[in-house]
Amino acid sequence: MHIPDSFMPLTQALVYWVIALPFIFLSIRWARKELDDTKVPILAALAAGIFAIQALNIPIGMGTSGHMVGAALVAIIFGSPLAGVLVLTLVLLVQGFVFADGGITVMGANILNMGVISGFVGYYAFVALRKNKLSISISSFIGAWLGLFVSALATAIEMYIAGTFPLVAGLTMMGLYHLIIGFVGEGLITAIVITSIGKSRPDLLENSFLNPDQMGVAA
């Protein structure tokens, strides 16, 4: 899902930077307001874990790969999709500048897809499902899976606009592979982690996540 520089014209890449930058700014403002000495180590551990799981790339074809993202997991734990944007931005910066994984000029598109789209879709799907009385495990599973799937489709559409992918083949390949990755990887891992935290360390989660009747939506 990492888009390389050569896959997208610079003018199109700049558009995604323009869209992504306000979310990055808001995520930094969220961090200054919400993070304290107890939350920073958790955020750092999640960033390290996401960096590690993203190293497991599954070749898809047409020069792309599929992998897990983790933005929804972070968003659910911290009660805000902006947390997912922040962590994925940091991870993508390290991957791009240090390990040359994913492009530099197109990093705005990668942040938009993996941080913003995956995090916001996954988090608010989770919130909606919890409000409808579904369990934490099912809600987090579906939310994480849906966030990954939608972000993969967005990537395929962006590549079609760039002239890199044919639309139908791109949507089919990106969608099918991430549909499977979402079920056996992203959704399952997110559900296990969130459920385990809810049972063993509920103090690390917002109380609203344990009681859908009191659930608030943190911004």
pLDDT at 177: 81
Q: Return d(Cα 136, Cα 153) in angstroms, integer.
A: 26
In a domain, 206, yes or no: yes
pLDDT at 202: 76
In a domain, 159, yes or no: yes
Tell me how far apart the terminal alpha carbons of the chain are, to the nearest angstrom.
26
pLDDT at 64: 66
- For the chain (219 residues), the mean pLDDT of every run of 10, in chain order, is 83 96 96 89 91 74 71 93 96 83 86 96 94 90 94 92 88 84 85 87 63 46
Residue-range definition of the domain harbouring residue 205:
5-214
Q: Give me the residues paired with residue 65 across strands.
A: 59
In a domain, 22, yes or no: yes
pLDDT at 208: 46
In a domain, 27, yes or no: yes
The number of folded domains in the chain is: 1
pLDDT at 15: 96
pLDDT at 140: 93
Burial of 146: CB neighbours in 10 Å, binned 0-12, 13-18, 19+: buried
Q: What is the CATH number of the domain that holds 72?
A: 1.10.1760.20
pLDDT at 207: 45
Q: Return d(Cα 30, Cα 82) in angstroms, integer.
A: 7
Write the DSSP symbol of residue 132.
T
The model carries a pTM of 0.89
pLDDT at 215: 47
pLDDT at 60: 67
In a domain, 219, yes or no: no
